[in-house]
A and B are shown apart, each in its own frame.
Chain A
Amino acid sequence: GNSVTQMEGPVTLSEEAFLTINCTYTATGYPSLFWYVQYPGEGLQLLLKATKADDKGSNKGFEATYRKETTSFHLEKGSVQVSDSAVYFCALILYSGNTPLVFGKGTRLSVIA
């Protein structure tokens, strides 16, 4: 089956620290990969995406590279801010953008000043 595994949280970092949240996937086909972010009390917002191997998605200082050889899509940011505190979800879709997302369990990030 199709599944996403991401590192357990919570992750607590000081402001300006480097962030990595690991994500690996299992898929029966060739998926598109996504990172979504959920701020408290809100829905999920797309943070970045990559649709083929070696693509790098980036947004708001966050980056993730689609690594087919390691089936990974790790999220990174060079210098986190307090406003980055949220829950981050790695997800995949097979075939098209309008089939259901398969989500990881989410990783809660807390950034302290």
Chain B
Amino acid sequence: DARVTQTPRHKVTEMGQEVTMRCQPILGHNTVFWYRQTMMQGLELLAYFRNRAPLDDSGMPKDRFSAEMPDATLATLKIQPSEPRDSAVYFCASGSTLGNQPQHFGDGTRLSIL
């Protein structure tokens, strides 16, 4: 089965450090989403792209977060500088505008900022 691949699976770092999370969407999917999961807030949308163009990043703190799609096979989410409140699980999902297919999720990056 095709899968969304996220790396790293786990990341522990000190506050102030830069964190980069990567996502490889399913081949042929043209829409990529970044969600964040915390105990307090549940699942929140951070940003999403269609055909590599950002459509909505209103869920991201702009001063420290940035999301890009350098090419169709790679999406990145960066935090600089990181803060303890950024500790969460970050999920990438991909989907296609062809047909009525559901979004497919990666297994997430579990981020801990000390």
Contacts and interface: CB of A to CB of B under 8 A. Distances in A.
Contacts of A49: 102
A1 interface: no
A97 B102 contact: yes
Contacts of A104: 42
A98 B95 contact: yes
Contacts, number: 55
A106 B97 CA distance: 27
A97 B42 contact: no
Nearest to A48: B102
Nearest to A96: B97
Contacts of B107: 41-43
Given A43-B91, A97-B102, A103 B97 contact: no
Given A41-B107, A98-B96, A106 B101 contact: no
Given A97-B100, A100-B48, A105-B42, A45 B31 contact: no
Given A98-B50, A98-B95, A98-B96, A45 B105 contact: yes
B3 to A, nearest CB: 9
Interface in A91-113: 96-98, 100-101, 103-106
Contacts of B91: 43-44
B45 interface: yes
Nearest to A104: B42
A106 B108 contact: no
Given A42-B108, A97-B95, A97-B97, 6 more contacts: A98-B31, A98-B103, A100-B33, A103-B42, A105-B42, A106-B43
Interface of B: 4, 30-31, 33, 35, 42-43, 45, 48, 50, 56, 91, 93, 95-97, 99-108
